[in-house]
Amino acid sequence: MTSNESGRRRRGPYAKSAARREQIAQAALQVFGARGYRGGTVQDVADAAGMSQTSVLHHYPNKQELLIAALKRRDAVTDGTPGTGECFAQSIVEQAQFNEGAAELIELYAALCGESTTSDHPARSYFEARFERLRGEYGAEFEFMKSIGRLRPGVDPHVAGASLLALWDGIQVQWLLSPDDVDMAGTLKAYLDLVILPES
């Protein structure tokens, strides 16, 4: 047996296992997005994945691990790289436009974000860390805009960052409920146009 043949044999089961884990994570995303964490069950995830509950628990030993896998899958698809410098506003609008084509991921986020405010929810620390990170990132982006004279006078960069995050989460929920009546990307652009001055 050559070394290449040996390597292929070793990678085969690993690749199959990785694909199975991804399949389960996608199923968990669908289930928790539609029913919330408390409403969805491991059996629901197994049914959505087309496998037994035992097989699911072989890859993710409990419901909490399934939740984290679903959130990570959501992040991998919908979280873009933070914009830098003068591309920040454009990157936000483009990410919102992309998100409009990923409704099930937005459903998952909205359902679990609301649930996570309870003290014992397994996703609470995930959302706390996420909001802290994004407030810092957005605040830093607005600080840069201020440094080059493009932040409207009187606007606090860190308040603007927290406001953008709050607006984005809120407009996503409105869009989920009335997608034909709400322009998520357009609403975010309108806010950014209010606080960021056009290039001179």
Q: Residues with Cβ < 8 Å from 116, sequence gap 6 or more?
A: 123, 124, 126, 127
Q: What percent of the chain has pLDDT over 90?
A: 54
41-91 residue pLDDT tens: 999 999 999 999 999 999 999 988 898 888 888 777 776 555 667 889 999
Of 10 and 95, more confident = 95
172-190 residue pLDDT tens: 999 999 999 999 999 999 9
CA distance 113 to 64: 15
Q: Which of 25-34, 130-139, 150-159, 183-192 has the lowest mean pLDDT?
A: 25-34
Q: How far apart are the two ends of the chain, measured CA to CA in Å?
A: 67
**Rg of the chain in Å (alpha carbons):** 20
Whole-structure pTM value: 0.75
Of 79 and 138, more confident = 138
Q: Which domains does the chain have, with CATH numbers?
A: 1-72 (1.10.10.60), 79-200 (1.10.357)
Residue 138: band (very low, low, confident or very high) from pLDDT cuts 50, 70, 90: very high
Residue 115: band (very low, low, confident or very high) from pLDDT cuts 50, 70, 90: confident
Residue 4's pLDDT is: 56
Residue 153's pLDDT is: 97
CA distance 97 to 80: 12
141-165 residue pLDDT tens: 999 999 999 999 999 999 999 999 9
Residue 36: band (very low, low, confident or very high) from pLDDT cuts 50, 70, 90: confident
CA distance 144 to 146: 5
Distance of CA 162 to the CA centre of its chain: 17
Residue 172's pLDDT is: 93
The token pair that represents 123 in the structure block: 């996703």
Residue 8 has pLDDT above 70, yes or no: no
